[in-house]
Structures are given as structure tokens and as C-alpha cells.
Amino acid sequence: MNKILTSMALAAACAISANAVAGGNIDAGKAAVEKYGCKACHGQDLNSPIDPTYPKLAGQHQDYIAHALTAYQRGADGANGRGNAIMGGQAKPLSAQDIQDIAAYVHSLPGSLVTDPESKFLHHAE
């Protein structure tokens, strides 16, 4: 009986959090991306940046995106920080919750980034 109740509670919890992934809310992330104008550089689908040197974001791992945004906030001198004049400014106003939400949203988007299954690093030099 306890088992059944537990699984019912779990099922209910899952239904409630279907749109919230590990602390991030996809809808809130979408709104934050609109609010902060991220698409101006990363593209309408966050997968078609306006410049080939700007990264595609769509579909990237949630924890990676959250880490990257935190690193821009820390700057080049911070622990594990990233120094980039453009993104440093973009990341500055984001709250910790904004970052979690944006990361969840970015991860939910279909992207075209792939992992090369035939990585050159797998071949051993003889």
C-alpha cells in the first residue's frame, strides 16, 4: 500500500514538474531570453547566430549553459571564469534563477549540434 501511495505521489510530482527541469523553468527561460534580447545575436531559434564566430545554443546541455553563464558573470579573473566583453555584459543582469530558467529553455530547443561518433581522439597513433 505504501509503495502504491509513493508511486502515486511520484507520478503527481512528475506531472506538476513536467515543465521544470532541475531547478529551471522552460517558460520562464523563454520569457527571460526575450526580455534580455539574446536572440539578437544567437538567432530567433538560438541556433542561427548572426555571426559564424557566435555559438549555437539550442539543445546544448542544461548544466553546461548554466555553467557558461555563471562563468561570464565571474569574468576572466574569477574561478573557472570566462572573460568575454560581449557576454560579460549580457550575463551581468541575470539572476541565479534566470540562469537556471534560460538553461532549461535552451536545452529544450531542437539544435543541430552533434557529437562526432568517429572522434579523431579515439584513434591511437601507432
Using CB under 6 A, list all residues that contact ligand HEC: 36-38, 40-42, 54-55, 57, 65, 68-69, 82, 84, 86-87, 90, 102
Q: Report how far residue 112's alpha carbon sits from residue 93's, in angstroms, rounded to the nearest whole number.
A: 28
For ligand HEC, the closer of residues 12 and 40 by Cβ is 40
For ligand HEC, the closer of residues 2 and 53 by Cβ is 53
For ligand HEC, the closer of residues 2 and 44 by Cβ is 44
What is the closest distance, in whole angstroms, from the C-beta atom of residue 108 to ligand HEC in the complex?
14
Q: Report how far residue 64's alpha carbon sits from residue 41's, in angstroms, rounded to the nearest whole number.
A: 19
Q: Report how far residue 123's alpha carbon sits from residue 102's, in angstroms, rounded to the nearest whole number.
A: 37
For ligand HEC, the closer of residues 9 and 61 by Cβ is 61
Q: Report how far residue 107's alpha carbon sits from residue 48's, in angstroms, rounded to the nearest whole number.
A: 15
* Nearest alpha carbon to residue 68 among 84, 51, 52, 48: 84
What is the closest distance, in whole angstroms, from the C-beta atom of residue 10 to ligand HEC in the complex?
32
